[in-house]
Amino acid sequence: MSRMDPIEAPPPSLGAERRRRRSEDPITALHYQLSVARSEGKLEALVLVDDRGCLVAGAGSWPVCEELAAYAPLLAEPDLPTSAAVGTRIADLSREVLVRALPLGTAEALLAVRGGGDDRSAFVARAAAGCRRILRAA
């Protein structure tokens, strides 16, 4: 797992900000942010979760988002003790899921993404920047 620099800007190849949907509600705004990154990155699912695996916002099919949320903390800390069944599922998911820590002042969230190509990190960075912006304004 890698930490994202809080001042890291999204890659310039992603273009200028072109928000089409806006919401005053932070949860809805987070969903919109993740949906755009998911669509542009051709990702199966992208979720923002707390450090205990509670889904804050997501984009993608609901069952996939729920699974990513539940396993993200375990994928982020692979040395945590788990049962054999959970360990097997974590091993399977680790081949297809990318998890990044998202520092939020005194707290930390996780962004987890499934699907997409080798360049999916750029879309995760963009989503992280958007999530930080939304949560700072909330």
Kindly report, residue by residue over 29-40, the tens digit of the pLDDT: 999 999 999 999
The yes or no reply on domain 23-137 and CATH 3.30.450.30 is yes
**Backbone phi and psi for residue 111, each to the nearest 5 degrees, phi listed first:** -110, 130
Nearest-5° Cα angle at 107, 119 to 21 = 55
119-132: pLDDT as tens digits: 899 999 999 999 99
Using pLDDT thresholds of 50, 70 and 90, give the confidence band for residue 78.
Answer: confident
pTM for the complete prediction?
A: 0.80
**Backbone phi and psi for residue 3, each to the nearest 5 degrees, phi listed first:** -90, 145
Domain residue ranges in the chain: 23-137
| Alpha-carbon gap, residue 17 to 59, rounded angstroms | 19
